[in-house]
Structure 1
């Protein structure tokens, strides 16, 4: 199965680039999964790999690990990411664009992309902790329910990513913090990069966690994330842009670890997001961008144009 040659029909409409997306034959994917589950491991074993940093030493990664945490919304569309064929079509289109280095996703999505042949010569990043379900009372007790370090090594993937949200009033954050440190140790032992996405969080008026994007909070989160584990040799930081983008230069002085920017859900003002990213990408420790919903589900529906613009910022 190859992404550009899988026959099928689109199940979404009204988007600006629908005609350009490769069509995903869900029935064929299910048939292979049911009849030959070993095909996934076989596809991983023969996948053509590349160095983490290639060419100019910058990274452009498309993220799609949100569904495994039950976070399916984009803007005011609560279930935008729930259509798997539509998500795969968007991912295959994004991965086909020049300058896109790879993808961050949970096992089920990466398995589909392996079967579709969409991960050749791409960086493949496994999402490690998805236990902090969106909207759950235990959301900040974000246990490791996704890729283990041994899975990433076994499948020949290139890196892992973990989410580290810390609420100083929530004991569940300590479980996440300790688990994250052990994951950093296990990845370093295998010489595999791990991208740590840290936040200082608090409970909002509705009870759910709210990430503090003030300069002080982001600075503190980077200091904590940088000190995880017994070695930082293979640790990268995945950093949000602060509320005031002018603070980013000072914030990024907190660590010498290489970093990528977190894209996040930018809403309808895509141009404002690009401008925030543009400034931060000039900083010496920032080596790239990891963006998901903002590129896969842009307000105007044109995935290719959103991806190309983001690549241009690098």
Structure 2
């Protein structure tokens, strides 16, 4: 990021905060699927949950100018259809003019801070339905981790159901990312077995008073083949594949994505750290490789 671009953000935030809403109003809208009816959404909502790690670097996402540089580069690549983030990140991108002709999704529940004792009580501390609508964005994303042994799951379930219904009533996409989770040694872990992923998907699909605008954001199970097919057979809702952690073997990750993308339920990818922080540091190449899979 050039020094003048960073200065423009800093000055706008300090002296002209109304310019953020003005930039949102002037944005040329995009769509989730783009011209090819396939989605490639760049995710960048991790920092608001205190999750800054990418690969071996525990503070990789802490440098905001560096993160924005990577996001702007990724969003400019052919085949990228959108971005997912919290208000602070999306507003920086608005001020940079980087969101034109891209679908934009606001991250809604970031209160389940990584490593916290209350992590499962994932409060809605980010975007509201009304704010997503006012900013002219395309939808909202929510994380739903279900631990059958922890009663803090219940308020998150209820809040997600209300958000799904509210977004649908506004004609906006509800992007739900579900997991069955449990604690081991005090650390919350997501269960990526076929049975757990299938159960999580069916719970998420049933949230709210309508599923007409619900999309599911799901991890790639196994090698992306038969196990993934078994999971996806549980719903008719459109699904997007979750990119997951940065892999030391990106070619193997791309192969798994390639297999999973062949299932008819799958409409694309939502990927963050794997594309923004690839092992070789080449963001453009990583994004272009993902786009080619679509």
TM-score, scaled relative to structure 1 = 0.91
- In the alignment, structure 1 residue 280 sits paired with structure 2 residue 275: no
- Kept after mapping to 2: 8 A contact 1:195/1:236: yes
How far apart in 1 are the matches of 2:20 and 2:277? 27
- In the alignment, structure 1 residue 227 sits paired with structure 2 residue 206: yes
Q: Which position in structure 2 is the counterpart of 1:217?
A: 196
Given candidates 60, 64, 72, the residue that maps to 2:52 is 72
Look up the SS of the partner of 1:245 in the other structure. coil
Given candidates 181, 206, 216, the residue that maps to 1:237 is 216
- Kept after mapping to 1: 8 A contact 2:30/2:81: no
Between 1:122-131 and 1:238-247, the stretch displaced more is 238-247
Look up the SS of the partner of 1:287 in the other structure. strand
How far apart in 1 are the matches of 2:158 and 2:132? 20
Alpha-carbon shift at residue 307 of structure 1 (Å): 0.3
How far apart in 2 are the matches of 1:104 and 1:75? 20
Q: How does 1:254-293 map to 2 (within 5 A)?
A: 254-293=234-273
Q: Which position in structure 2 is the counterpart of 1:183?
A: 163
- Structure 1 residues 115 and 263: alpha-carbon distance in aligned structure 2, compared to 1, 3 A threshold: same
Given candidates 2, 8, 11, the residue that maps to 1:7 is 2
Q: Which position in structure 1 is the counterpart of 2:82?
A: 102
- Structure 1 residues 244 and 306: alpha-carbon distance in aligned structure 2, compared to 1, 3 A threshold: closer
Alpha-carbon shift at residue 29 of structure 1 (Å): 1.1
How far apart in 2 are the matches of 1:171 and 1:244? 33
Look up the SS of the partner of 1:162 in the other structure. strand
Look up the SS of the partner of 2:233 in the other structure. helix
Look up the SS of the partner of 2:209 in the other structure. coil
Alignment size in residue pairs? 293
CA deviations on 1:87-115 (whole Å, 9 max, x unpaired) are 00000000000010010000000000000
How far apart in 1 are the matches of 2:223 and 2:288? 25
Look up the SS of the partner of 1:199 in the other structure. strand
Q: Indicate the RMSD between aligned Cα atoms, in angstroms.
A: 1.1
Alpha-carbon shift at residue 244 of structure 1 (Å): 4.7
How far apart in 2 are the matches of 1:7 and 1:191? 38
Alpha-carbon shift at residue 288 of structure 1 (Å): 0.3
Q: Which position in structure 2 is the counterpart of 1:34?
A: 14
**Unpaired segments of 5 or more residues in structure 2?**
none
- Kept after mapping to 2: 8 A contact 1:214/1:244: no
Alpha-carbon shift at residue 243 of structure 1 (Å): 3.4
CA deviations on 1:229-256 (whole Å, 9 max, x unpaired) are 1000000000101135330011100000
